[in-house]
Copies of this chain bind each other. A is one copy, B any other.
Amino acid sequence: MIPNFIGEFDKEYLPKRTLEETYKITHFIVEKVKTARAFLKAIEHPTHQNDFVFVELDKHNNYEGFKRFFNEHIAAHSIGVLSEAGLPAIADPGSEVAKYAHTKGVKVVPLAGSSSLFLALMASGFNGQNFKFNGYLPIDTRERVKALKEMENRSRKASQIFMEAPYRNNQFIEFLIKNLQNDTKLCVAVDIEKEGKETIISKPISAWKPREIELHKKPTIFIIEG
């Protein structure tokens, strides 16, 4: 399980051990081959690009493609699972591969790297003894408000982490400011590990002003604490 970069495309953001374990691998299950090749180039993988063997996770076919690939190669090769960004299997379909490997009795090794969720939580100042990652809220407005209110209730006991599609981030933060209570605390973490751009703001809803931060298409993590 190999983490990808979340900000700078620079191998200094990954532990040497993660790099060295990845250098031993030539067979990969990935979301997109193009991103995977760019990652392997950025980490200066010693294998020639022509010699890598990839399969893409094909969720439309009940993941039959990666399973065939897995069974074909696992006897002779370690297989890497590479995410599009951050830790594979966290907010990411890579968990299907780990699940399959366990059913086959194949050892699963997680390699350390960056995760925007956890870096945001670390820096938020919110409760890190109990927390929940909720993924995305529902699209439908009524369900979305209901889901947010439920999260706000739960946030008294456990920090609630969530995301939005990046092109809707600006509307989303307005939605949060409008619908959350004044004393609920909101952390917005933007562009984590982007040198010079990283911004992490943590304060009560009453102190957030509309449009005070530009989030359009920027990778952003939202966390609330009641």
Q: How many copies does the complex hold?
A: 2
Name the B residues within 8 Å of A96 (CB-CB): 125
Q: What range describes how many residues of A lie at the interface?
A: 35 or more
Q: Are B90 and A203 in contact (CB under 8 A)?
A: no
Are A125 and B99 in contact, CB atoms less than 8 angstroms apart? yes
Q: Does A25 reach chain B (CB closer than 8 Å)?
A: no
Would you give the shortest CB distance from A222 to chain B, in whole angstroms? 15
Question: 0/1 per residue, A185-205, Cβ < 8 Å to B?
Answer: 000000011000010111100
Q: Which residues from chain B contact A133 at a C-beta distance below 8 Å?
A: 130-132, 158
Q: Which of B99, B100, B123, B128 is close to A109, meaning CB atoms less than 8 Å apart?
A: B123
Q: Which of A69-114 contact B (CB under 8 A)?
A: 87-92, 94-102, 107-110, 112-114
| Of B99, B109, B124, the contact of A98 (CB 8 Å cutoff) | B124
Report the minimum CB–CB distance from A26 to chain B (whole Å).
21
Contacts of A131 in B (CB 8 A): 132-133
Given the known interface contacts A110-B192, A114-B112, the answer about A127 and B95 at a Cβ–Cβ threshold of 8 Å is yes
Chain A positions near chain B (C-beta within 8 angstroms): 1, 10-17, 20, 87-92, 94-102, 107-110, 112-115, 118-135, 158, 192-193, 198, 200-203
